[in-house]
Amino acid sequence: MNVLVTGCAGFIGSHLTEALLTEGNSVLGVDCFNDNYQRAPKLSNLSAQAKDWDAFEFVPIDLSRGDLDELVAECDLIVHLAAEPGVRSSWGTRFERYVQNNLVATQHLLEATKRWPRKRFVYASSSSVYGDAESFPTPETAVPQPVSPYGATKLGAEHLCQLYSKNYRVDTVILRYFTVYGPRQRPDMAFHLFCRAALGGEPIVVYGDGHQTRDFTYVHDVVTGTLAAARADVPPAAVYNLGGGSQTSVREVLDHLRELTGKALEPTYTEMGRGDVRHTSADTTRARDELGFAPATLLRDGLAAELAWMHDTRSVSAAPTG
């Protein structure tokens, strides 16, 4: 297949691009290098997995402003990962960026795709749409109630996917990712910060009391689920949770880090950030039954892989700022 991957230089996008190329697909990668974190790690993501592939083509374009018809026309499949990420930074003056990069960009891409309704359009959403869920594990049938501007824009983009599916028969699939971690993770995310602090002997700051839990999902499991969603025969505008399969507290994560590094980590606990939720846990029954999704990476193993990647990258460059 010829696959359009938006956000190809990002954390998940670079892993997905690599997986698609390894399978023998051609990938047209799009990224605008927005300023949510430094450009160098994104360029490293690209060069690490795509520079030696003749089947990879990169186009630097802003989806919210560029002409997307030609890009979509060349591809058999669209996987839309590009977004403005982060809960805490979505308040205040940066909100316009979230509207532009999460809502407007998605609408432009859907508008281009409606001319070819048979092309599968996979949209990467987030567990943030659930907000403070009323039940755990949380099924896709739970009423979304985001508690951050970021979550609101991700939910809005989901609605756009459903609208274009209903009105123009665009073949959309919506995936709700639960706290993805692993090598190449964004430098503002908790595991990246924890690993960097542990390796460098820096202080660790935890937002909240550490008893908050997340359904941590290793990046390769998310890529496997995304590829399955791209190919499966599923209902129009189907929604699937992709989670790691266990609800783990931040304190347990730090215990794993202590074991892996042999260091006595003493975090400082502070107030939870606005928009942060207390718990997340994915009910992946639907993804298992309809996509064959089965997360295979234990948290400790995935954390060790991220820690090893952090160690390697620290040896060749200064740690990126978040």
Question: Would you call 123 a catalytic residue per the annotation?
Answer: no
**Which positions ≥6 away from 108 have C-beta within 8 Å?**
63, 64, 65, 66, 68
Residue 229: closest CA among 183, 162, 286, 153: 286
Give bridge partners of residue 221 from the DSSP assignment: none
Q: What residue ranges in 154-290 does DSSP mark as E strands?
A: 171-177, 180-181, 205-207, 213-214, 217-218, 238-242, 248-249, 268-270
Amino acid present at 121: F
Give bridge partners of residue 3 from the DSSP assignment: 27, 77
Judging by DSSP bridges, how do beta strands 238-242 and 171-177 pair with one another?
A: parallel
The one catalytic residue among 150, 164, 181, 218: 150
Would you name the residues annotated as active-site residues? 150
